Chain A
Amino acid sequence: MTRREFLQTGVAGVGVLPAECQTRRPDYSLTIEPYALEVFPRRVIRTVAYNSQIPGPLLRFEEGRMVTIHVTNRTGNSEVVHWHGLFLPSDVDGAMEEGTPAIPPEAKARYTFTPQPAGFRWYHTHTFAGRDLNKGQYSGQHGFLWIEPRENPGRYDAEAFLALHDWRGQLLMSDDGSMNPSYDVSTINGRTLGFGEPLRVKQGQRLLIHLLNSSATDCHWIALAGHQFEVIALDGNPITAPCSVPMLSLAPAERVSAVVLLNNPGVWVLGEVRKHIRAAGMGIVIEYAGWGGAPRWYQPEALLWSYQRFESRNPSAPDAESATPVPLVFKSKFNGHGDLDHWTINGKSFPRTETIEIIQGQRYRLQFRNESIDHHPVHLHRHVFELRRIAGRSTRGVFKDTVLVNSNTQVDVEFTASQAGLTLFHCHQQDHMDAGFMMLFRNV
């Protein structure tokens, strides 16, 4: 049985929602519908989007205040909306594997929940794509969630939400000997570099950028020529020791919130550090008021990033010894040079993977051992975890919901089981999760 078969035979169906939710007036409405995205003049990508815009509308919630979102599915496929990074019951989290009902074609659904924790989260589809590189996360179904915190972690004058995405994918043979998605077009907020409005700023401002990598499969490195980033939050979770870095790195589903001190007037490019991705369009012009001309770019010569750069020296979380270890070994299974690899966790592919029972309130140490030649951005639903060890070196104080586990390395994270029911864990690369890289935890 594959993930597709599991979704077809399992929990798909019209959502049954609590009676009070049926009558509750929505705070937001989302319509999932086909959309023609013009990425640059006369270059249109036919995809699926929320409310005919890419990214979807920015949804702003107050932490702890119940909200209702109406969702209408005007496509020919069953859909579901996942509220990535929120602590939600499994029936509204937005993963059919956990028990959230699917939204059949032409049907409507309501999601009612109390959003928490505060910070930069996002919402996106959570469906099977397989070899169709226009479906699932390959499509334009992604949008920003901002859960208003009681106190903002950074002082800023202007705010921008930016989503990185890759389009027009096709499966090509790569150096690893298997088929992998490769893309023709890369965008920021649905536009290629130079097309669309620049981000207009003023000298002396502190610009807070919320950056999301909504790409189905690819990591991205982002720099702003002539400027540094002061990172204040990772995956929406504040870091205790903000620090300046020359570039940001985001694996699929990761978010970075960073403040840029606008002290270098001119017209600049914020874009992908790698030349071929920037040439494919991943960039946006940052224009100071009163300045014009061609945007400038300084080409970095290396890709620089480390989670441990943001670690805390004054950790407050419990010691590792109190956490129950859960070893998880990731391996690939060759399926032919003309096919995608299959993926296993502890030797089994979803839905045959073991469902591990966890106890409410107990702390667990997930030990990710990546024995493959691919990197994996792994995501734990409905929880936040703390990075504890990366490639043999201990770390504290970095809290995330998605972490990149590099090839042939081990990453340990800790979390406290806090959500009843089923919790999905998976690689956030669409091609990997479709090919078995998923498992469930059951909170007993």
Chain B
Amino acid sequence: MHRGGMRLPPRLWMVIGLAAFLCSLPVRAQGNYEIQVYGADTVPPGSTMIELHSNFTALGQRNEIQGVFPTYHQEHETLEITQGINDWFEIGFYVFTSEQAAHGVQWVGDHIRPRVRAPTSWHWPVGVSLSTEIGYQRAVYSLDTWTWEIRPIIDKAIDRWYFAFNPALERTWHGPDVGQGLAFAPAAKVSYDVTKQVSGGIEYYADYGAFAQFDSFHQQQQQFFAVTDLNVSPKWEINFGVGIGVTGSTDHLIVKGILGRHFTWRKSSPVE
């Protein structure tokens, strides 16, 4: 018989610790509207990709901070329309919305995202593209209302493995972070093809703060998602994931989904 303090099994301590961590409050609002690590491919010319990004913040900021709505139980629906211009250039357009019990369905903002890629005729050993994204979001969802991002994209498929890295740089044009300069916000993905149709992997999203001087770890945003991609058809893009934030500034639990459909407008002809 044991005496003295209560002893718990190690596994139970881990559960309690995780619960305590998930219940702690993030100190900075976060905009999770499009949670995706980009691959280097662009949408082919004469075709359009329409995607719906659905992100639910299960555990997030519960308090309104400086007039910004809390992220807790926000449901974000983002419509992304990407048009292929030629075999190395596409333009994407986003409509961000948010739904929350206290605020109903709200328009959040819009972004536009041109992207170029290294043509396949260059025979580079990895896929490379470069996107830039400019847009506005309402101040009740982000104090930084006008932002710009440049995102290099590198990816590679090796056997059953897929690797993608997006070392993005962000810049605020209007808002409190104007003076911050360039911020470093990388994302990365590693996945494995379990079958031809199903792959599973890990996605990583971060915002380290100003490029010149990173924030303290507590102030940084650090998220990891367990994801699966369903490759049921070249016409469809399906991605699901559950993510946890591991710093105080990150929403702690997010469920995300991407449903995309590829439309070809060119007349289908065997001689094309």
List the interface of chain A (C-beta within 8 A of B).
168, 170, 172-173, 175, 177-179, 182, 184, 273-276, 299-303, 334-339
Assess the B159–A338 pair: CB atoms within 8 A: yes
Name the one of B156, B234, B270 contacting A302, with C-beta atoms under 8 angstroms.
Answer: B270
Instruction: Tell whether, in the assembled complex, residue A337 and residue B160 are in contact, meaning their CB atoms are under 8 Å apart.
Output: yes
Pairwise interchain contact A337-B234, C-beta atoms closer than 8 A? no
Chain B residues near A335: list those with CB within 8 A: 159-160
Q: Are A337 and B157 in contact (CB under 8 A)?
A: yes
CA distance A201 to B186 in the complex (A): 63
Ordered by A's residue number, 11 sampled pairs between the chains whose C-beta atoms are within 8 Å are: A177-B234, A178-B196, A274-B271, A275-B271, A300-B271, A303-B271, A334-B196, A336-B160, A336-B193, A338-B156, A339-B160
Of the candidates A299, A302, A338, which one forms a contact with B157 in the assembled complex, judged by CB atoms under 8 Å apart? A338
Contact A337 B231 (CB under 8 A): yes
**Chain B residues within an 8 Å CB radius of A168:** 123
Report which of B120, B159, B196 forms a contact with A177, defined as CB distance below 8 A.
B196
Complex CA distance for A276 and B45, rounded to whole angstroms: 14
Q: Would you call B161 an interface residue if the criterion is a C-beta within 8 Å of the partner chain's C-beta atoms?
A: yes
In angstroms, Cα B122 to Cα A170, docked, is: 10
Q: Which of B120, B123, B159, B269 contacts A339 (CB 8 A)?
A: B159
B148 in contact (CB, < 8 A):
no
How long is the Cα–Cα vector from A339 to B158 in the complex, in angstroms? 7
Given contacts A168-B123, A303-B270, 7 further A-B contacts (CB under 8 A): A177-B231, A184-B121, A273-B271, A274-B271, A275-B271, A336-B159, A337-B199
CB distance from A7 to the nearest CB of B (A): 22
A168-B123 Cα distance, complex, nearest whole Å: 9
B136 touches A (CB below 8 Å): no
A303 to B195, CA, bound (A): 34
Report whether B195 and A334 are in contact in the complex, using a CB–CB cutoff of 8 Å: yes
Residues of chain A within 8 A of B199, CB atoms compared: 337
| B162 beta carbon closer than 8 Å to chain A | yes
Interface residue SS majority, chain A: loop
Mask: chain B, 163-199; 1 = CB below 8 Å from A; 0 = not: 0000000000000000000000000000001011001
Best-surrounded residue of A276, A299, A339 (most CB of chain B within 10 A): A339
Q: Contact at B159–A276, with CB atoms within 8 Å?
A: no
Q: Are A170 and B120 in contact (CB under 8 A)?
A: yes
**When the two chains form their complex, are residues A302 and B271 in contact, meaning their CB atoms are under 8 A apart?**
yes
Please measure, in the bound complex, the distance between the C-alpha atom of A275 and the C-alpha atom of B157, giving whole angstroms.
Answer: 29
Which residues on B sit within 8 Å (CB–CB) of A275? 271-272
What is the CB-to-nearest-CB distance from B199 to chain A, in angstroms, rounded to a whole number? 8
Bound Cα distance A77, B193 (Å) = 34
CA of A178 to CA of B158, assembled, Å: 11
Q: With a CB–CB cut-off of 8 A, which chain B residues contact A301?
A: 269, 271
Chain B residue contacts of A299, Cβ below 8 A: 271
Distance (whole angstroms) from the CB of A259 to the closest CB of chain B: 25
Which B residues are in CB contact (< 8 Å) with A170? 120, 123
Q: Are B271 and A338 in contact (CB under 8 A)?
A: no
Top-9 shortest CB links A-B: A338-B157, A336-B160, A334-B196, A336-B159, A175-B234, A339-B159, A338-B158, A303-B270, A336-B193
A319 to chain B, nearest CB (A): 37
- Residue-wise interface mask of B (232-272) relative to A, using a CB-CB cutoff of 8 A (1 in contact, 0 not): 00100000000000000000000000000000000001111
Contacts of A300 in B (CB 8 A): 271
Nearest opposing residue in chain B for A273, CB measure: B271
Task: Give the complex CA separation of A173 and B41 in angstroms.
Answer: 10
Determine if B270 and A182 form an interchain contact, defined as CB atoms under 8 angstroms apart.
no
Bound-complex Cα distance A175 to B269 (A): 16
Report B141 CB to chain A, min CB distance, Å: 36
Instruction: Closest B residue to A171 by CB, please name it.
Output: B157
Report B-chain residues with C-beta under 8 Å of the C-beta of A172. Answer: 120
Once the chains bind, are A337 and B193 in contact (CB under 8 Å)? yes
Question: Taking the nearest CB of chain B, how far is it from the CB of A332, in angstroms?
Answer: 9
Interface pair B272/A338, CB less than 8 Å apart: no
Distance (whole angstroms) from the CB of A196 to the closest CB of chain B: 22
Complex: A72 Cα to B120 Cα, angstroms: 36
**Inside 8 A of B234's CB, which chain A residues have their CB?**
175, 177
Contact A336 B271 (CB under 8 A): no
Query: Shortest Cβ distance from A187 into chain B, in angstroms?
Result: 16
Q: Give, as a whole number of angstroms, the nearest-CB distance from A162 to chain B.
A: 20
Shortest CB–CB separation between residue B236 and chain A, in angstroms? 12
Of A178, A179, A274, A337, chain B has the most CB atoms within 10 Å of the CB of A337
A274 nearest in chain B by CB position: B271
- Docked pose: A168 CA to B119 CA in angstroms: 14
Chain A residues lying within 8 Å of B160, measured Cβ to Cβ, are 335-339
Cβ contacts under 8 Å, B157 to chain A: 173, 179, 336-338
